[in-house]
Structure 1
Amino acid sequence: MTIVGASLSGLYAARELRAQGFDGRLVIVGEEPHRPYDRPPLSKDFLTGRTGEDRLALTDAEETAGLDAEWLLGVRARGLDTRGRTVLLDDGRTVSTDGVVIATGATARRLPGDHLTGVHTLRTLDDARALRADLARGPRRVVVIGGGFIGAETASSCARLGHAVTVVEAAPLPLVPQLGPETAAVCAALHRRGGVELITGTGVGGLHGAAAVTGVALSDGRTLPADTVIVGIGAAPATSWLLGSTLALHDGVLCDDGCATALPQVVAVGDVARVGGTRAEHWTSATEQPRVAVTNLLAGRTLATVRTLPYFWSDQYGSRIQFAGHRRDGDTVRLTEGECTDDGPGEAGFLARYERDGRTVAVLGVDRPRAFLRARRELQRDERERAVPAAL
């Protein structure tokens, strides 16, 4: 078996292959030179220096030995020959295999002009190293393009380090697609509370500078001076290496509800996989999908399906934001615990429920971990009950 992608979902797939009884040759291909590491701290504790690289590792020597895998790191897959069941590598090597787990994740979207010194994305350990070194050079004027999770967390870290930070978000409020307009205002308030300037409803026209970035041109004609620019405008599934194969691709690798593609013995997991019509770039999906995917890979057909309740969290300006469930536009949002005003959450945080047709479909917690955990468990229980056909 071959796993293409040596990050979180690839590691979990390797663990599942061994746990489910596969004892044959296992090859793990990774474009980065690093063994699997934890990405969420990159924009938070690692960037601020509170966590070192040694604490990012997802495996230790004992587990690595137990997996008994061949690690081909620092080499990119460039193609998949589905007829010959062969993975083609950039360095000319080929890996013959009986089955493939596609776990290549996603790559940061970029802007024209991002070749300038001082312009960063934050997706990989090497990205975080470069940004941390830049920020260590002294007080910086930092412009963060994009108010999503990476943008907000990075802005929070930069402000914590004492830099002057401006966030530019094209939407009227940050995180509206994820949280909805009623509660996205909370995130805007956190930026203000953290001393960060938030510019919304305005796009970016380009970057200024010769060798190094000096400013960010906005679509409304203004220019923001900048020494450091962080581009956080989302990520695209890493599927370019699959172009030319017979795999169906559309904003990810198209899979059924069990992570199986239309090709026999090929499954996909994590950020690169569009499972049952949805592609989720969250830690929970990357850790829960591999169990189902490996079950179906080893069986040669779809026996199990993914029933993950969407869940994500974000740490911003000392607050933890947690969300679970399926939000839709038009849902009623009801504050059930704590308080929240135009100035943001109260000292004890709050819990909000999203309701539709008389039932709770999603929950949002800010600095309310116990209440959120209870509400999340209720949602999970409700989902399981609805998934079981009523007894005749």
Structure 2
Amino acid sequence: MGHIVVIGAGQAGASLVAKLRKDGYGGAITLIGAEPVPPYQRPPLSKAYLLGDMALERLYLRPESFYAEADITLRLGQEVSAIDTAAQTVSVAGEVIAYDELALTTGSDPRHLPAAIGGELEGVFTVRTLADVDAMAPAVVGGARALIVGGGYIGLEAAAVCAKRGVKVTLVEMGERILQRVAAPETSDYFRALHTGHGVDIREGVGLDHLVGDTGRVTGAVLSDGAELAVDFVVVGVGITPSTTLAEGAGIVIENGIKTDALGRSSAPHVWAAGDCASFPYRGGRLRLESVPNAIDQAECVAANMLGAGVDYVPKPWFWSDQYDVKLQIAGLNTGFDRIVTRQGEGQVASFWYFKGETLLAVDAMNDPRAFMVGKRLIEAGKTADPAQVGDPGFDLKALMRA
């Protein structure tokens, strides 16, 4: 029946192997992960888990017993050192494993601060893995002083959790505004007000010059405007990059991630890719999506195609972020928008609708699940909406679905 090897035991890898079994694959499956724990959810790490509201076992995507019952070999805490696409083997923990088909679901890696500006000091954290958050948790205590570097969603979520724990938070963003690369000014304004209302000191147009340390531990920061801060710990949220080192070493083509065709095949025979690490054809160009829904959907599509389905992957982009008591839900991709329509609800309920000409591209919905769901369905159906109706808080959005 053959042997399918999957490298990367995150959301995409776990979804892929489960789909293989669900679709009837009866051969051997090996799932290899660098971390010493079974596949787990990443989004709650920096929120519910860090706050102590979620136990470790609840992070797991499936009970560890699932893999044994499904006859999936888990190799955890092991790094794959090389892939030989000609011999169809991978080298892991001193062993060479043969495969018939290989899937790369290696995810992404956080960007780190350079050592030259203090990035290697103790007390400087990224928020990506269970180990990252376990290392950071003891520092997140009431009265501590934190510097958050980066005003994207990672940085803002970390700021929210720290503020809820009573930490004095300063957040710096080099761009003109928080969320500048991913959202409209209206969304930036909403979240700036939300965070400042919770006591977070947000400094936009200001970067980090360097960190200051004492006996190897961070004690302060000097900002690009010359301001000096005393800090007890630093959280770095300056983005992630696709994890492609293994693929590059194997001679697989990289283009903003592992380059795949619409089915999920890489440039190497019998090698596939899915999730954060993979880029795929989209509307005449290429796209790489960093989201849980994409990791699941793309991995399941690739699994089906490994078994001969021959179905192109068509993404249905959506994302979310939890900050304080606000749930942000995003439908679609806002690239190229030229107009924003605001729909204001009561209190913290609001949504921002992105249009290009008369075409609806995306929706940012804050505590407004109806706006999110209507926008998502319209976008997936290739439909648009009347901006005047969208902006009228008295208009029933559900009527758009009947148009």
Partner of 1:307: 314
Distance across 1 between alignment mates of 2:130 and 2:359: 42
3-state SS, counterpart of residue 378 of structure 2 = helix
Distance across 2 between alignment mates of 1:324 and 1:330: 14
Distance across 1 between alignment mates of 2:299 and 2:57: 25
Distance across 2 between alignment mates of 1:374 and 1:250: 34
Distance across 2 between alignment mates of 1:41 and 1:241: 28
Partner of 2:140: 135
Q: Which ranges in structure 2 are unaligned for 5 or more consecutive residues? A: 385-403
Partner of 2:329: 322
Structure 2 counterparts to residues 41-52 of structure 1, below 5 A: 41-52=44-55
Structure 2 counterparts to residues 199-348 of structure 1, below 5 A: 199-210=203-214, 211-276=216-281, 277-299=286-308, 303-338=310-345, 346-348=346-348
Distance across 2 between alignment mates of 1:95 and 1:223: 53
The CA RMSD measured in Å over matched residues stands at 1.7
> 1:110 and 2:98 equivalent?
no
Partner of 2:34: 31
Specify the code of the residue in structure 2 equivalent to 1:88: S
- Stretch moving more, 375-384 or 76-85: 375-384
Q: Is the 8 A contact 1:202 1:219 kept in 2?
A: yes
Q: Give how far 1:62 is off.
A: 4.7
- Indicate the percent of aligned positions where both proteins have the same amino acid: 34
- Stretch moving more, 154-163 or 176-185: 176-185
Q: Is the 8 A contact 1:238 1:272 kept in 2?
A: yes
Partner of 1:360: 360
Q: Is the 8 A contact 2:186 2:352 kept in 1?
A: no
Partner of 1:10: 13
Q: Give how far 1:351 is off.
A: 2.0
Residues 239 and 61 of structure 1, relative CA distance in 2, 3 Å threshold: closer
3-state SS, counterpart of residue 382 of structure 2 = helix
Q: Give how far 1:330 is off.
A: 4.2
Specify the code of the residue in structure 1 equivalent to 2:376: R
Q: Give how far 1:257 is off.
A: 2.1
3-state SS, counterpart of residue 276 of structure 2 = helix
Partner of 2:72: 69
Q: Give how far 1:139 is off.
A: 2.2
Specify the code of the residue in structure 1 equivalent to 2:275: G
Runs ≥4 in structure 1, deviation > 3 angstroms? Answer: none
Q: Give how far 1:376 is off.
A: 1.3
Residues 376 and 22 of structure 1, relative CA distance in 2, 3 Å threshold: same
Q: Give how far 1:348 is off.
A: 4.8
Specify the code of the residue in structure 1 equivalent to 2:128: R
Distance across 2 between alignment mates of 1:383 and 1:59: 37
3-state SS, counterpart of residue 165 of structure 1 = strand
> 1:59 and 2:62 equivalent?
yes
Distance across 1 between alignment mates of 2:241 and 2:39: 20
Q: Is the 8 A contact 2:108 2:242 kept in 1?
A: yes
Equivalent in 160, 164, 180 of residue 164 of structure 2: 160
> 1:83 and 2:86 equivalent?
yes
Distance across 1 between alignment mates of 2:22 and 2:190: 43
Q: Give how far 1:46 is off.
A: 0.9
**How many correspondences in the alignment?**
373
Distance across 1 between alignment mates of 2:100 and 2:126: 36
**TM-score, normalising length: structure 2:** 0.89
Q: Give how far 1:226 is off.
A: 0.7
